[in-house]
Amino acid sequence: MASRHLLNPLAPLDQPTPSSLDGIPEELERDLRAYGGILIQQVGVMLKAPQVVMATAQVLFQRFWFVTSLKHFGIRDVAMGALFLSSKLEESPLRIRDIINCFSYLESLVAYCSTPPYPPPPSFDAYAPMDYFATEFYDMKDALVIAEMQILKRLGFQTQCGLPYGHLVNYLQVLELTGEKELVRRCWGYCNDMLQTPAPALYPQGTLALASIYLSARLSSPPIALPLEPVPWWTHFDTTEDELVHVSTMLLRLYKDWGNDPLGGGKVDGERNGHGGFGVVGRENVWRRAKRIPVTKSGVREVLAHLGAGNGVESSPR
């Protein structure tokens, strides 16, 4: 991965991902990345981890797939490893057992919610925690430890993660938008949800913050006009409109696929739903879509075989 900023190593925009070179369709890769980020966010909320832990874990998760193919590691294992590593990096350590139990619970919940009603009833009781000495528990524990090691190895121990929140606060102050409470809330939620896309591994954290302002201003009712004269406002922050449009497009596609499309007759909620974002977690479409997302590498390979993309000689792990 190239680097435009020491604290935020970035992947080249024009470089194909290892997954695409392995024949994984773009839509499947997008879904796998998004679902891994959603799992990290959900487990972090369940364990009452600070948002910085979940955000850092999602950045590491997204970076990992620019150096490794989704054909060689399952998103569940890498998500667990990223969250465990992030909790240590941010000095808010989480217990391995708690992480495993939460991921296992969410898997059971998705299976349970494969049919309506949505969301699941609060009295969901189909889940039985694994016994501490169960083979499944030790398999998941080994997978978590291996995933953490692979993240460190394949990222060259570059675990510094610049997050967009500080930039967002500064930019809102410069643009005199801090009084627009609804816009500020939307921006914060957009920054959180962008971490479920490849954007944090492709663009500097400042660009993510600017894209959240750009999108929020346009989707506000009525739209909020930001200065375009003598030069467009984003040029003062060392970015281009093309970059803002690209990041915004990735986020809108996430909402369209997983949540509620604000451009397709719906709107992005003004409530955080307790999950730090807008329009993704907690929606009916999440349960439907999650049901068909393979969380293991064997599941991904089965999907590829079904699509006819798994034929031929498999590449070896990089």
Report percent pLDDT > 70 for the chain: 81
Mean pLDDT confidence for 258-276: 47
Do the domains at 18-161+283-318 and 162-282 have one common CATH topology? Answer: yes
* 162-282: CATH number: 1.10.472.10
Average pLDDT over residues 301-308: 86
CA contacts within 13 A on the Cβ side of 268: 29
Share of the chain above pLDDT 90, in %: 60
| Of 40 and 266, more confident | 40
Q: Which two tokens stand for residue 169?
A: 């606060």
Give the span between the Cα atoms of 66 and 73, in whole angstroms: 13
Distance of alpha carbon 140 from the chain centroid: 21
pTM: 0.86
CATH class, 18-161+283-318 region: mainly alpha
- The confidence score (pLDDT) of residue 126 equals 64
Q: Which two tokens stand for residue 302?
A: 């089965």
The reported pLDDT for the residue numbered 260 is 59
Q: What is the mean pLDDT of residues 101-120?
A: 74
Q: What is the pLDDT of residues 225-250, one digit of tens each?
A: 898 988 999 999 999 999 999 999 99
- Looking at the predicted structure, is the pLDDT value of residue 316 above 50? no
3-state SS, 119-155, equals CCCCCCCCCCCCCCCCHHHHHHHHHHHHHHHHHHHHC
**Amino acid occupying residue 45:** V
Q: How high does pLDDT run on average in the chain? A: 84
Strand partners, 2: 10
Helix (H), strand (E) at residue 241: helix 241-258
Q: Does residue 276 or residue 84 have the better pLDDT?
A: 84
CA distance 141 to 34: 23
pLDDT at 120: 57
What is the domain partition of the chain in residue ranges? 18-161+283-318, 162-282
Token representation of residue 97: 């057992």
Tell me the backbone φ, ψ of residue 311, rounded to 5 degrees. Answer: -80, 160
Residue 277 token pair:
């974002």
